[in-house]
Structure 1
């Protein structure tokens, strides 16, 4: 193939990738991906900033991807974009090909790195919810009742992003507004422990672009440390639940924490979990 034909083929792929991703964004609404509606939009569908935040990639990087200019595209990132945009297996395969990668032969495996014994611990803690997050607050492993009781969905990849963008999660939290200030202060406190890690600023910058509430709180520069907390959940099926949340370090995984929720005595939460224990809920990892 001549150099001219190579350039023409590359340009065709860039155009097709741009149009393909734009069309996948346009067919979804914020409600489709669990985000709150934010008034009328000039154009239909999700904004680039929203796709980037939900997929856990930088806004500028996603913009370059949609323009066919992104470097070092990985399958893991493409899978995150495909999940966010609700792509079918055929669409996901098409995304790989347009991005210049060979599609995997099977659906991507969930991210690893968490020892099997910790997965067993999360399973054993049920029906009480628990999960493991890394130092950037990315969710890396779930106990089997986290989705049911706390409102996390299959596209939730980061605790902070979920707190400010997941409409169902917010609906379950009767004290969401009161808790938001402390959540942001704790994330800034964690970021201060890793002053040379740019990922914290990248997460905050991307989240500011889609959440005015986060942007306002981040601008206050308040700092707090993680520790024990009380979490209230107004659940439509299980009633009012109140948990004591404890953050534990994971010695074998530096920077990782296990967040474990225990019923607060005298709130009826333990009894609600006993009723839930009779149900069989599948575990979810990643």
Structure 2
């Protein structure tokens, strides 16, 4: 009997049965946005990542990452036993499975479903201006119901994250956060500060992107050749132009009328003088 118990103990220790660690975790990201397949547990010896086709992508063992799939060579990193994918290049959705081995020999599988959503825009592009004399730049987002905002620059580098608190990841920026407004300010902005994107997550689970375009001080030749006019703002100018044209036409017509009247008077005077000269000439002839 005791031999049976020993064999059962050896079998239980040496053979690991694959159980699910937890329910499937759904992850929603924008195209190009990084995402993390997290595993925050103690006693882990090894974590292997497998994609939906069953291909092993990478493995973390003893704190070292080994990438087994060349597609992920330059866009996969590790933090602890969690995998971080730098760019969401997958389309629509994809499933991953983390095969976890513990120090005690037990084993389980954790499943992830990653959904890549479209670039839904929060609103039209917001214009931000670099103000003199300190060349400061201010970026703000003031919409209700926001859960989290991640602000990135034009090379997709994260500058700040808000989730209950404002965490600034770049020392060149300062900011503030209240119940409805997120504001980030950069003193001494340069010509490199031209585009920013805020990735916004709302409390109801919806997401959107807010793009910012920065206007840098200096001569902008486009404004001289391609004016950015609002048709409504042109109405007063059109009215003033029309009035000036009418005044000019009326004045010109008046000058023409006066000129015609004057010319008519001169012609009448000449005719009269010619008539008088003719009478005088005929009287002289008679004498």
TM, length-normalised to structure 2: 0.29
Larger fraction in helix: 1
* Structure with more contact order per residue of length (Cα contacts < 8 Å, sep ≥ 6): 1
Q: Which has the larger radius of gyration?
A: 2
